[in-house]
């Protein structure tokens, strides 16, 4: 099948490289000439022009832009009358994909969130934990199942809203683990206990993940965790639910971060 990847950043590049490694035909579309040049040097077809999205005649269009650019991309696809299968990889607020696809009359849409780390995106995409496919379109589901038939990890089929929330729940849980161990470290420091010994002993329990248990005391930051915590808190509040736990996770991190700045 022919695929066009809109957005040649970390997620888009990793997606295209994985597709090509699985014998799919790939072209990248982006306004970032530097990113395109790097991919062109690796043998990929590239384009900076919007019109080429339709001219390439892809079977599937992958939207791998930042979430705030997704609507513009979907509007462009609509205006180009390129009613192909559209797979959104961006982290989308819950309900946003449904709202935008209705707004632009897009028919065959899926949300397939990524779970890649920026520094190890290529390694991660070839060593996935799971594939989440959010779609209510049977044609889209079958096409994506065909693409992912070679993977040996669980493929979880669900609706789009659920896939959107899975992405947020995953990132916010990981952030919460870091906040938890940072809280434990504060108490250890006061009691003159080795915090790493506590973490190492606790995580011998197979039910307890080691993620975040390196007792450095560093707050979580980066690109994804801060924005995703804020967005998920907003989703709760829009439904008149007080996200007590998420607010606490954010508060622990904010205080830790502010303390580091003062020092």
Q: What is the DSSP letter of 134?
A: E
pLDDT of residue 258: 84
pLDDT of residue 54: 87
pLDDT of residue 222: 84
Residues 85 and 110: beta-carbon distance below 8 Å: yes
Question: What pTM was computed for the model?
Answer: 0.92
* Torsion, CA 37, CA 39, CA 44, CA 47, rounded to 10: -50
Angle between helical axes of 160-191 and 96-103 (0-180°, round to 10): 150
User: Which alpha helices (H) appear in the chain, and where do they start and end?
Assistant: 10-21, 33-41, 52-55, 67-79, 96-103, 121-125, 138-147, 160-191, 195-202, 224-238, 244-262
For residue 58, pLDDT over 70 is answered with yes
How far, in Å, are 6, 85, 111, 148 from residue 57 at the CA level? 14, 11, 21, 21
By CB atoms closer than 10 A (0-12, 13-18, 19+), residue 151 is middle
Structural domains of the chain, with CATH: 2-158 (3.40.50.720), 165-262 (1.10.1040.10)
pLDDT tens digits for range 98-156:
999 999 999 899 999 999 988 899 999 999 999 999 999 999 999 999 999 999 999 99
Mean pLDDT of 62-82: 91
Share of the chain above pLDDT 70, in %: 98
Reported as type and span, the H/E element at residue 46 is: strand 45-47
Q: Measured between alpha carbons, how far is 194 from 177 in angstroms, rounded to an integer?
A: 18
For residue 237, pLDDT over 90 is answered with yes
Q: Measured between alpha carbons, how far is 18 from 12 in angstroms, rounded to an integer?
A: 10
pLDDT interval class at 166 (50, 70, 90): very high
Q: Are strands 60-63 and 109-111 parallel, antiparallel or unpaired?
A: unpaired
Residues 15 and 114: beta-carbon distance below 8 Å: yes
pLDDT of residue 146: 95
Is residue 224 part of the annotated active site? The answer reads yes
pLDDT of residue 223: 86
β-pair partners for 62: 5, 87
When the pLDDT of each residue in the chain is averaged and rounded to a whole number, the result is: 94
Tokens of residue 196, six digits: 């790493």
Mean pLDDT of 76-85: 83
pLDDT of residue 263: 64
Q: Measured between alpha carbons, how far is 14 from 8 in angstroms, rounded to an integer?
A: 9
Please enumerate in sequence order all residues whose Cβ is within 8 A of that of 247, keeping only pairs 6 or more positions apart, or say none. 233
Mean pLDDT of 203-215: 96
pLDDT of residue 118: 85
């Amino acid at each position: 099948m022919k695929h066009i990847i809109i957005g040649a950043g970390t997620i888009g590049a990793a997606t295209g490289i994985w597709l090509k490694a699985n014998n799919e035909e790939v072209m990248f579309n982006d306004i970032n000439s530097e990113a395109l040049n790097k991919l062109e040097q690796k043998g990929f077809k590239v384009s900076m022009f919007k019109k080429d999205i339709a001219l390439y005649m892809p079977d599937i269009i992958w939207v791998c832009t930042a979430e705030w650019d997704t609507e513009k991309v979907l509007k462009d696809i609509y205006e180009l009358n390129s009613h192909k299968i559209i797979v959104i990889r961006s982290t989308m607020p819950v309900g946003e994909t449904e709202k935008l696809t209705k707004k632009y009359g897009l028919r065959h849409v899926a949300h397939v969130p990524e779970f890649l780390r920026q520094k190890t995106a290529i390694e991660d995409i070839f060593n996935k934990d799971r594939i989440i496919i959010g779609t209510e379109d049977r044609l889209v589901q079958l096409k994506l199942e065909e693409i992912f038939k070679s993977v040996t990890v669980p493929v979880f089929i669900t609706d789009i809203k659920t896939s959107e929330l899975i992405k947020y729940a995953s990132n916010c849980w990981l952030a919460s683990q870091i906040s938890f161990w940072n809280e434990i470290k504060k108490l250890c420091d006061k009691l003159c206990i080795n915090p790493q010994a506590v973490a190492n002993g606790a995580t011998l329990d197979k039910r307890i993940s080691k993620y975040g248990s390196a007792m450095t005391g560093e707050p979580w930051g980066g690109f994804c965790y801060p924005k995703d915590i804020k967005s998920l808190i907003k989703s709760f509040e829009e439904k008149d639910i007080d996200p007590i736990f998420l607010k606490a996770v954010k508060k622990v991190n904010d205080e830790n971060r502010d303390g580091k700045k003062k020092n």
